[in-house]
Amino acid sequence: MNLRMLTPGVVWLATWAAVPRTYAATPVWTSSYQFSQQSGLVSASAVYNQATNTMIVFGGISSLGGATTSAVLLYAQANGNGSWSTLIPDAAPGSPLGRVGHSAVYDSANNRMIVFGGLGLNSTTFFNDVWVLTNANGQGGAAAWIQLSPTGPLPTPRDLHTAVYDSAHNEMIVFGGGQPYLTDVWVLKNANGLGGTPAWTKLSPTGGTPSGVDAGTAVYDPSNNIMTVFAGLNVGGTAGTNAVWTLSHANGLGGAPHWTNIVANGAPGSPTKREGCSAVYDAGNNRMIVFGGGVFPGTRSFNDVWVLTNANGIGGTPTWTQLKPTGVTPGSRYFHTAVYDSINNLMIIFAGNNAEAVYFVPWVLSGANGL
């Protein structure tokens, strides 16, 4: 794991090249500046319940003492003037161990958050456990953690991987991470703990290996069963990347999984190479929206917004466009979270840090897909 990104105040030298940029229609950043003592987090996870407009946050490094936390926080109304509450306090009995660099996906139909892996900084232990939080948005009953015991070979313990959720088949798809730097893809069947015994399956995709495998981003097109990954550290852990790759038959069903490089690493017009950024997906318009991240090696961080059209690699040429939002702009950062309100086309980013600051408040980007 890259502690340089999680620990402010250390200086590295960095170089970067100018990248040609295009600009789309003007979106707007806003913030209600609502925060709590617990909301200063780095490398936490967040999922979003559209029906109740609630962002559900788990884990991360807390600014309260700099230790990992296992608290679950709720922010509602998340796309406007929300307020914070603690659903489950840190170190509550029955909770997962506090962690960073884990992944979380959300089953909206059953209101369950599914958490995999991560790193316990207090113990320097990497995890490959799976936990499910029931009644995750704080409604429908008392929230409770359940640890799953999947069958099959288990993935290598890891952090800073990516994960997406196939709600139609109740499968979580995990890619990459570290450490060491991993390039594998795993699918967890019955991922929400319902419908049968959870089981891990390792896929064997053809087509090569994505350029970025650690601290990158991933989104999922459920209609075409395609996972799109962007950015992250390379396999050697020596540099950030900006390539875009897609994985067909990403859930292992319907055909043989295959990696395709749809935007080359270093392609003109791409965002600067980076890691620790966030991405959300507008499924209706097949657009991936990326915010922030940082340069490796170095301490330079970003607060830019980019949109990739034809993000699943089908239906046209994938093309990057940089947005130029108005309003007060959130600070540059890495290892933050982002969720997407698809009804209102809003991206909500939260927390993270850079070399000088840890962030506490959510920000909302209107017109997030550039349309």
What CATH number is attached to the domain comprising 157? 2.120.10.80
What is the rounded CA–CA span in Å between residue 282 and residue 70? 30
217 within a domain of the structure (yes/no): yes
What is the rounded CA–CA span in Å between residue 186 and residue 236? 21
| Two structure tokens written together for 10 | 């250390």
* Model confidence at 5: pLDDT above 90: no
113 within a domain of the structure (yes/no): yes
Q: Taking the CA atoms of the chain, what radius of gyration do you get in angstroms?
A: 19
Residue 220 pairs in a beta bridge with 227
* Model confidence at 132: pLDDT above 90: yes
Three-state secondary structure call for residue 370: coil
What is the rounded CA–CA span in Å between residue 186 and residue 163? 9
Please give the average per-residue pLDDT across 335-350, as a whole number: 98
330 within a domain of the structure (yes/no): yes
* Model confidence at 318: pLDDT above 80: yes
What share of the chain in percent tops pLDDT 70? Answer: 93
Phi-psi region at 316: left, alpha or beta (left = phi > 0; alpha = psi -120 to 50): left
Residue 346 pairs in a beta bridge with 341, 366
* Model confidence at 307: pLDDT above 50: yes
210 within a domain of the structure (yes/no): yes
91 within a domain of the structure (yes/no): yes
For residue 25, the model assigns a pLDDT of 57
What is the rounded CA–CA span in Å between residue 37 and residue 264? 42
286 within a domain of the structure (yes/no): yes
Please give the average per-residue pLDDT across 220-243, as a whole number: 97
328 within a domain of the structure (yes/no): yes
Total structural domains in the chain? 1
What is the rounded CA–CA span in Å between residue 84 and residue 350? 12
pLDDT band at residue 314, thresholds of 50, 70 and 90? very high
| Two structure tokens written together for 213 | 């495998």
| Two structure tokens written together for 57 | 């946050």
371 within a domain of the structure (yes/no): no
Please give the average per-residue pLDDT across 9-34, as a whole number: 56
Please give the average per-residue pLDDT across 270-281, as a whole number: 98
* Model confidence at 272: pLDDT above 90: yes
Comparison of pLDDT for 13 and 150, the residue scoring more: 150
Query: Which letter does DSSP use for residue 176 in this model?
Result: -
pLDDT band at residue 23, thresholds of 50, 70 and 90? very low
Query: Which letter does DSSP use for residue 334 in this model?
Result: B
Give the number of residues written for the chain.
371
* Model confidence at 13: pLDDT above 60: no
| Two structure tokens written together for 350 | 């939260």
For residue 21, the model assigns a pLDDT of 42
pLDDT, mean over the chain: 93
Which residues form the domain of 308? 3-366
